[in-house]
Structure 1
Amino acid sequence: MEFSQEDNNNLPLTKFESMLKTNHVFFFDSEEFENIIHHYLNQGKIALAKKAIKLGLDQHPTAINLKLFKVEVYVFEDKLLEADTLLNELYSLDPMNEEIYIQKANIFSKKDNHVKAIEVLKKALELTDDAVDLYSLIGMEYLFLDEYEEAKTYFMKCLEEDLEDYSALYNIIYCFEFLNQNEDAISYLNIFLDKNPYSEVAWHQLGKQYMALKKYKKALAAFDFAIISDDSFVGAYLERGKVLERLKRYEEAIENYTITLKLEDPTSFALLRIGSCYEKLKNHELAVQYYYKTVHEDPLLDKGWIAITKFYNKQKNYQKALYYINKAINIDSENVAYWKLYSQINQRLNFIEEAERGFKKTLDLGNYELSTWLSRGDLLIQLGEPEAAIYNFEQAMEFYPENAELEYRLAGLYFKLNENDKGKFHLKNGLKFNQEFSFIIDELFPDVSNRIVVKNIIKQTL
């Protein structure tokens, strides 16, 4: 029994806490101690649970259930040897107690021996009249083993026993999704809904499966039924808003997101989506208002700052865009896309050194797209750092061998440094790989393109 502040069942708990404060010893029967301990464990108050276990065993030294709580605390504290030793003692006293098997399985699971945990839990199944919790535990162990088909089977058993076990339903859908079985998930949910037609959670999950398959009209219908089942279901309104966005019905999407703001405290996600919808409707004033509301609601939401950055970037207000991209980078400094945007904005402001630094950071984070190498190298050329540019392009060649754009740049750089043999080598390679890109020499190295040796090589090839 779980104690509640609203009923009279918490008298033993009040009495127990009074005993702790006064040091007067009161007697409780073992079941009362079990309820007290269970309450503290559920509340995460381990120290109080341990006191209750100790006092309980002082008054009832042979109570197996109290000793099982002691095992549970041992496991929680990673004292697995002590837990195992006590469990073995209890097994010799009561070998038919299913809780002993459950705790034994818990120890195996803690040791990452999930196969053995499943074996023990299946033995516990033979001893119980209430299998739902055991099915769930077995399902979780199969999840640890990445055996999703088996896990799904046991979670389905949970749901067969209890149609309101939404935790099991979520786990079933998780397994379907991991196995890319969206159609099977839809079939399963439809069968479930035949038995439980007002399950808002099932309708919601059905809509998400249709979304994954881009069947937006069916997804919309499913979310409608979720809302009919529970008109305060925020998740259904949010998902419905997403579908309407995909269908480019932005005004209706805004309506759905706005409903969520009235049902509970505003979420940064809903505010951000409303801003995005207004931007698509070309209502720039309201769009930016909602973007600002997003970051006011959650100043650490980098997506909010990025939305403002992109808004000002499109408006060609690069100074403001730069200010806000820095906000986003301060929150997530490992995001490649942010650094690329940072570099592009700095380029537009002609802040060449900062732009180059941004592209270098992008490369350091493992983004090896050709455009990144080319952009950084060209900036190094502008900065008058030919050696650094050469090193950049030679690194790029490791990822993009036989690339004409890189070859022409290296040719121009080497000619510029009067290393003519290397210049000739790369120029010939560039012409061999793609003659159309020879304009790169003219654009990036106009002084080099006028050299007789360069003109002759190009003339001989074309």
Structure 2
Amino acid sequence: MALESNERPDKPITKFESMLKTDDVYFFDAEDFEDIIHHYLNHGKISLAKKGIKIGLQQHPDSIELKLLQVEVMVFENQIAKAEALLDELQLLDNQNEEIYIQRANLYSKQDNHEGAVELLRKALSFTNNSFDIHSLLGMEYLFMDDFKMAKESFIKCVEFDDQDYSSLYNVIYCFEFLEDYDGGIIYLNEYLEKNPYCEVAWHQLGKQYYYKEMYTEALAAFDFAIISDDAFIGAYFEKGKVLEKLGMYKEAIENYETTISIEDPTSHAFLRIGKCYEKLKNIEMAKYYFYQTVHEDPLLDKGWLAITNLYFKLRDYEKAVYYINKALNIDGENPMYWKKCAKINTALKNYDQADFAYKQAVDLGDFELDTWLKWADVLHLNGETLSAVQILSQGREFYPESLKILYKSAGFQLIEQDLINARITLMDALKLDKNQKKLHLFTDKFSEYAHSQWTNEILSKYNKTS
């Protein structure tokens, strides 16, 4: 039976949940049902939202708003055809209801038709004065389309509607950063701060823009204002620490990182930065302590294992260095930098087979730097595979066709292999580029046994006569 109003619970949600536990039927206004359903959707309780829609439509079968919420649930559950059919029905009843266009745009977006979604959202704008949500949705669609300029404009409108909408503010700055328009971001944030001078989020973001521009003094001031606005703002202390590191003020940086740890539970990133500061201060024991704290806090943070690797590499403790670089590789085996470091360590240990394998992995993963080809070739030569070293340098020459380091080293290795014809061609190619022979020492120093040989002198003599 339906209860009288004075017998019902005061709050719609409490009343609704009470009704579900009994056989009683309570009457709700359509607006109450909308509030109930929104509450459950916002908390991810879809089954309760669906119950609210079902009962709501039983009591208010002509409510377009409740049917639109039904569409929202259908879209969420990928019932695309049903959602489209219901929207078609609703559009015949009310062709100027902006929510119909919004829900249809959600459908298009779910189907990756972001251009269509934008068109529908723009149509929705013509039917409403309260366009905050629509501009927010437009911004997200533009992000999906990688149109960061239009996304930025949409999110700026959201901030104009509500200057406390930090989510949109973050998105505005994200767009500025992606466009690498740091000056634009600085201007925008300064204008925002004129109206909101105690907004710690804006000061924090402004400091980051100055940091990107290497304007460290201005960045420090911005982070200080963020801390004044909120003295428990961990992000501001952390970013301030990074600026102080850049300025070589390592003790002050450590103080800021330690502040983040005192405010909240310690993080691996804070430990890592403290460790790096102590390393710069040449306090190796403290650096080592904090690096180990880093990986204790987060064993899957590969940068922590890399920091320990680098520390032992500098100390020439290569056995420990190779142990820890393998820890990093077990976490991120697709990182060419880690493989290159692994190759260097194994070279130092004279584990040339492992170094060869590591350099191959680095190149396969996209490391085509000049020194990678040169050092890989050296490893192969040291391992008695000079012909393979020549082949590696030939691959490197495709990327660096005018590299005298590659050419002179190739000529030397070809001589070692007694490939006199190709060595002559390679050496002549190098001399054509090195007209004044200022880099000839790359050949004569590395391959001193050939530096003053008759073979070399004849080539140099002939080249000097023809040049």
TM-score using structure 2 length? 0.87
Distance 2:43 2:229 in 1: 32
Contact preservation (8 Å) 2:71, 2:103? yes
Contact preservation (8 Å) 1:238, 1:256? yes
Correspondence list, 1:22-421, <5 A: 24=23, 26-29=25-28, 30-421=30-421
CA shift, 1:156, in A, is 2.5
Distance 1:419 1:186 in 2: 61
CA shift, 1:145, in A, is 3.7
C-alpha distance 266-8 of structure 1, shift in aligned 2 (>3 A): farther
Distance 1:261 1:92 in 2: 59
Contact preservation (8 Å) 2:12, 2:36? no
CA shift, 1:439, in A, is 5.5
Alpha-carbon displacement from aligned partner over 1:35-87 (angstroms, at most 9, x marks no partner):
34323322223344334433443444333222212211222233333212111
Question: 49-58 vs 373-382, which deviates more?
Answer: 49-58
Counterpart in the other structure of 1:3: none
Equivalent residue of 2:367, what SS? coil
Kindly report the root-mean-square deviation, in angstroms, between the aligned alpha carbons of the 2 structures.
2.8
Distance 1:25 1:127 in 2: 40
Distance 2:259 2:426 in 1: 62
Alpha-carbon displacement from aligned partner over 1:288-308 (angstroms, at most 9, x marks no partner):
111111111111111111111
Q: Structure 1 residue 457 and structure 2 residue 459: aligned?
A: yes
CA shift, 1:370, in A, is 2.1
Equivalent residue of 2:21, what SS? helix
Equivalent residue of 1:366, what SS? coil
C-alpha distance 395-11 of structure 1, shift in aligned 2 (>3 A): same
Distance 1:66 1:445 in 2: 84
Contact preservation (8 Å) 1:416, 1:448? no
Letter in 1 for 2:21: S
Question: 372-381 vs 27-36, which deviates more?
Answer: 27-36
Distance 2:179 2:413 in 1: 52
Contact preservation (8 Å) 1:12, 1:32? no
Distance 2:336 2:197 in 1: 46
Equivalent residue of 1:310, what SS? helix
Alpha-carbon displacement from aligned partner over 1:379-415 (angstroms, at most 9, x marks no partner):
1122122332232122222222244433444444444
C-alpha distance 403-209 of structure 1, shift in aligned 2 (>3 A): closer
Contact preservation (8 Å) 1:12, 1:36? no
Letter in 1 for 2:383: L
How many residue pairs get aligned? The number is 452
Contact preservation (8 Å) 2:19, 2:26? no
Aligned identity (percent) is 52
Alpha-carbon displacement from aligned partner over 1:102-133 (angstroms, at most 9, x marks no partner):
11222233334434433332333343343222
Question: 399-408 vs 444-453, which deviates more?
Answer: 444-453
Question: 290-299 vs 90-99, which deviates more?
Answer: 90-99
Equivalent residue of 1:322, what SS? helix
C-alpha distance 323-221 of structure 1, shift in aligned 2 (>3 A): same
User: Of 14, 19, 22, which aligns to 2:17?
Assistant: 14
Contact preservation (8 Å) 1:393, 1:406? yes
Unaligned 5+ segments in structure 1 are 1-6
Contact preservation (8 Å) 1:277, 1:287? yes
Letter in 1 for 2:64: I
Distance 2:135 2:376 in 1: 57
Unaligned 5+ segments in structure 2 are 1-9
Contact preservation (8 Å) 2:12, 2:32? no
C-alpha distance 16-210 of structure 1, shift in aligned 2 (>3 A): farther
Equivalent residue of 1:62, what SS? coil
TM-score using structure 1 length? 0.88
